[in-house]
Amino acid sequence: MKFFLEITYHGASFYGWQIQKKNISVQETIENCLSFLLKKSIKIIGAGRTDTGVHAIQMFAHFDFYEKTILLYRNILFKLNSFLPLNIKIINIFPVKKTIHARFTAISRVYEYRISLGKNPFYLDRSWQWLSKKKIKLNTLNKGAKILKRYKNYISFCKTNCNYNICHIYNAKWYIKNKILYFNIEANRYLRNMIRSIVGTIIELGIGKITIKDFINIFYAKDRNLAGISAPAKGLFLTKINYPLNINLI
- Model pLDDT for residues 66-97, shown as the tens digit of each residue: 766 665 555 888 999 999 999 999 999 988 99
Residue range 96-100: mean pLDDT, rounded: 92
Q: DSSP assignment, residue 149?
A: T
Least confident of 41-45, 156-160, 235-239: 156-160
- 51, 125, 214, 223: the catalytic one is 51
Give CA torsion, residues 85, 194, 175, 131, to 10 deg. 80
pLDDT exceeds cutoff 80 at 163? no
User: In which band, very low, low, confident or very high, does the pLDDT at 246 lie, cut at 50, 70 and 90?
Assistant: confident
pLDDT at 148: 95
pLDDT exceeds cutoff 90 at 250? no
Q: What is the 3-state secondary structure (H, E, C) of 109-145?
A: EEEEEEEECCCCHHHCCCCEECCCCCCCCHHHHHHHH
pLDDT tens by residue, 144-161: 999 999 999 999 999 877
Average pLDDT, the chain: 93
Phi-psi region of 53 (alpha: psi -120 to 50; beta: other; left: phi over 0): left
pLDDT exceeds cutoff 60 at 26? yes
What predicted TM-score, i.e. pTM, was given to this entire model? 0.93
Cα within 13 Å of Cα(233), Cβ side: 18
Query: What's the first-to-final CA gap in the chain, in angstroms?
Result: 12
pLDDT at 70: 61
pLDDT exceeds cutoff 90 at 15? yes
Active-site annotation holds for 51: yes
Residue 32: CB partners within 8 Å, gap ≥ 6?
A: none
pLDDT tens by residue, 170-216: 999 999 999 999 999 999 999 999 999 999 999 999 999 999 999 99
pLDDT at 159: 85
* Angstrom distance (rounded) from CA 80 to CA 89: 9
pLDDT exceeds cutoff 70 at 114? yes
pLDDT at 65: 86
pLDDT at 224: 93
Confirm whether residue 182 is marked as ligand binding.
no
pLDDT at 249: 63
User: Structural domains in the chain?
Assistant: 2-104 (3.30.70.580), 108-239 (3.30.70.660)
Cα within 13 Å of Cα(88), Cβ side: 28
Cα within 13 Å of Cα(130), Cβ side: 21
**Percent of the chain residues past pLDDT 90, beyond the cut:** 84
pLDDT at 209: 96
Q: List, as one string, the DSSP characters of 206-235.
A: HTTSS-HHHHHHHHHHT-GGGS-PPPPGGG
Residue range 50-77: mean pLDDT, rounded: 83
Give CA torsion, residues 225, 185, 115, 18, to 10 deg. -70
Phi, psi of 145, rounded to the nearest 5 degrees:
-65, -40
